[in-house]
Amino acid sequence: MCFILLLEKCMYFCIILIEPVLYPSAITLLASYNTRAEDGIAINYRLDGSLFNLQRLKSKTKVRTAYIFDLQYADDAAYPAPTQQALQRNVTATNDVYRAGGMLVNVDKTEVLQYLFEPQRRNPNILSRFTVEGEELKNADVFKYLRSILSSTCELEPEIQNRTRQATVSFGKLRERIYTNRDLTVKTKVKVYVAICLSILLYGSESWTLYSKQVRRLEAFHIRCLQCILGITWRNRVPHVDILQTANTTSIESMIINHPPVALGWTCHTNARKPSPSTDSLW
């Protein structure tokens, strides 16, 4: 199965799902010999302990450049590229290696997801066209990858709704057995809730850039679950601060901010700038 994920601002991904785990490593290694340096994503880095000092990355010395051609996660392989032509060349090179090994990319299970700016989304003719073995790949507005929802609008709303829905289902399955069971202590109930429901709700949150309304939506779900565990309702008019203190837990906003991987995401978010004229267009 092959998914193609297109990211605006010079970032494109081709994600190929295959088994076994070691096979993608061999495929990507062989395909890399048929790729160009400019077809990868350039990343500047330095090894002197200044990872988060973005100003020092502008230095002419001690800064190295690496080109990323593939990103592997378990049995999945993602192929990033800076342009449409580069991604097509990478996909073709990978498909050639598959064909040499007696395998082919299943075009029927291949989808293209493109991230576009709002003005470009209104023009359906601007969508890119990719082919494998002469067959055109179909476009999709949303698909699920690695348990997360990716949409062509670059918004978190589908993912937030998906996380909330799954956490609600998980909470409901254990409601009578755990959360409303009078034989269990509140401490035990909260530990089960944090280990199961919150893990589902905040899965992948280290890569989120949330708006205040989205935080409030997650917070509302968190408070409702704690109210059920504590046996209180909104009619009791218990402040949220008291609910959190009684359950000996923190708010969703605090959990997300104090999550260790957020440091990198926050650095990237605060240093984001408007696209230059050269990146306003699709290519």
37-51, 65-79, 129-143, 176-190: least confident range? 65-79
Name, of 7-21, 22-36, 132-146, 242-256, the range with top average pLDDT. 242-256
Residue 21 pLDDT exceeds 80: no
Read off the pLDDT band of 261 (50, 70, 90): very low
Helices 186-193 and 240-247 meet at what angle, rounded to 10?
Answer: 100
Q: Could you give phi then psi for residue 34, rounded to 5 degrees?
A: -105, 15
Question: Which segment, 96-105, 209-218, 252-261, is predicted with the most confidence on average?
Answer: 209-218
Cα 22 from Cα 78, distance rounded (Å): 14
For 113-123, b/e burial (b = at least 16 CB within 10 A) is bbbbbeebbee
Average pLDDT, the chain: 76
Distance CA 241, CA 200 (A): 23
Write out the DSSP string of 150-210.
EETT--SHHHHHHHHHHHHHHHHHTIIIIIT-TTS-HHHHHHHHIIIIIHHHTTTGGG---
Rounded Cα distance between 70 and 28, Å, is 7
163: confidence class by pLDDT, cuts 50, 70, 90: very high
State percent of the chain over pLDDT 90: 28
The sign one gets for the Cα dihedral 237, 241, 245, 248 is positive
What local confidence, expressed as pLDDT, does residue 273 receive?
Answer: 39
Q: Where are the domains positioned within the chain?
A: 2-152, 157-265
Closest CA to 3 of 14, 12, 263: 14
| Among 49-63, 64-78, 95-109, the range of highest mean pLDDT | 95-109
**Mean pLDDT to the nearest integer, 265-282:** 37
pLDDT of residue 208: 87
Highest mean pLDDT among 124-128, 231-235, 240-244, 279-283: 240-244
Nearest to 252 by CA among 160, 170, 140: 160
The answer on pLDDT for 277 being more than 50 is no
Q: What are the Cα distances from residue 215, in Å, to 112, 205, 244, 253?
A: 30, 11, 16, 7
- Tens-digit pLDDT profile for residues 94-135: 888 878 877 777 778 777 777 666 655 556 566 678 888 888
pLDDT tens per residue, range 168-183: 999 999 999 999 999 9
Mean pLDDT within 225-229: 95
Residue 250: pLDDT band with limits 50, 70, 90:
very high
**What b/e string do you get for 41-79 counting C-beta neighbours within 10 Å, with b at 16 or more?**
beeeeeeeeeeeeeeeeeeeeeeeeebebbeeeeebbbb
